Structure 1
Amino acid sequence: MTTENAVEASGLIKRFGANTAVDGIDLTVEQGQVFGVLGPNGAGKTTTIRMLATLLPIDGGRARILGHDVARDPHAVRGLIGLTGQYASVDEELTARENLTIFGRLLGLSGRAATARANVLLEQFALTEAATRPLRQFSGGMRRRLDLAASLIAQPPLIFLDEPTTGLDPRTRGQMWDTIRDLVRGGSTILLTTQYLDEADQLADRIAVIDHGRKVAEGTPDDLKSSVGSASLSLRLTDASRLPDAALLVERQLGVAPALTPEASRLVAPLASTGRTVDVLTGLRDAGIDVAEVAVHKPSLDEVFLALTADPTPAAASDEAAPVMEPAR
């Protein structure tokens, strides 16, 4: 591994006729990260991945993969990356082992080495028992795992995952998440596009939000959540008659008047720092005000997405055909 960033892109542009699908995007992905790219359908996520993976020519700007210029040295770049797209690239008429062995041979491995590598990956992705079954008998989750395994035959240091869990059930999505975490622990860098907000929240060290081909925000999940507003403190009292006293105390502690819901014995106040929760609870205890329930609600990535993106562009406006982004569940 070098000291170069895994991805350095500056001012990336891609046009399809009169439409500019990617309009000046900058990305920097450090080695060892999971970097997430969020955006509405047609925002330019897949187009950006395809340019970085040398599958589409770059119309403007520059990109480097582990120090190699994507436009000037595409052959070297292809040797450093693995790519799993939105749809499986494997052959349904072949078995899992045959698929992986063929990919290994195409990548220049000897027959023996290709078979050995296929067996290692089948075990890694819990597919050994199904290794001799044709893929037409595989579930969607098994196909996605095999597709990811195929992208790892050459053990690339950088892996592009374009909507890797689209259409999978929650259990299989969780298994894929575990696999992605294992890859990072093993030294890989992941650039991930996803339609699932909770997926980015769970996996990504940093997230870029793009809309209409432009990057509109970037940061850690917590940074992005903080950018759309503060957390809130919700308290439910044992005795509703103490709400006025509790409201005065909370206002003194937090500097803002809480919203009251007397019929539910509840008050809610903006919370600039979650550390102030202890101060409020200590003050209520000292005043003899009993609290039946307390909760701190932080902004979610759903709120980030809604705040930062406008109405999505039609899918036909670019080459992307991913499903419309769904909220976290």
Structure 2
Amino acid sequence: MSQSTVTSPDRFVELQTFVLVAQQGSFSAAARQREVSPSAVSKVVARLESRLGVQLLRRSTRRLELTAEGEQLLEQGQQLLADWMALESAVTQQGQPSGLVRINASSSTGNRLLVPLVGQIMQTWPGLQLDLSFTDHIVDLIAARADIALRWGELRSSDMVARKLGSTRQVVVASPEYLKRFGKPEHPDDLANHVRIGWNYPRAIPHWPFVVAGQAVAIGMGDVLRVNDGEAMANLAKAGAGLARLSLYHAWDDLHAGCLQPVLEDFNPGELQPIHAVYVGKPGQLPVRTRAVLDFLAQHVDLSHAERKPVHLLTAGA
């Protein structure tokens, strides 16, 4: 082996180091991750820039900024590293999923749909590590470094790929105590005399849809009480604070227990709201670990009950 071969830089380490610096936003943070000194990290990046003959990072006293060439290398370099990790996993573990999978979901969906499945996922693939983030704010998957996000509703066109897991009806509900105190609305027009618990984030639909005499009608949510969390909305309805429009999936247990009752079902348009597992990347090029979790969710998320009518649920004793 020639001397030049022995002393040539490890290009894979250079790429790993650069990607880590770009993701962490500083040499110091990347150095802590690699358990080396910041100067060592800086030298590796400088060596990479020298070999490529381009500047990848603009350094200032406060932050690092990627050049156009740096952004190109980061985007393609991340995919290259992910592909390499997937290849190593397939070769060394006969394709058994291993490594970290980050999943993002709303608070209510994460707790009701995902949490009950986590134990089985970990038991099926002991080599997996799961990082779960629950928030009712839409996050940028790339910025949040999330592999999968669970999202309700129709999706806007984007660079993300969506895999449908199921769908659910929407239903207006109230607690028996609330209906006893304020009366049961018999027509959408009656909602003017009731508190309607709504959402307070920009992407929310600002009205409740109904069908009256074959015509679509939209009733505003009102401004009395608004929240940004699905569990909080359900809990407020159960506490008698007002009416809420929830997915049947989220209201199912409370309807069964009698904590909530459906109202205005004769005017319910019956539209189905889908839930998708969304991710960035091409389906055929996903890491083994990400594809395994997606396949598991597609097989084990069961929303067949969530398309039924609450009236039937309560009268049939299902």
**Fold conserved between structures, TM > 0.5:** no
Larger radius of gyration: 2
Q: What is the TM-score when the length of structure 2 is the normalising length?
A: 0.28
TM-score w.r.t. length of structure 1:
0.28
Which protein is richer in helix relative to its size?
2
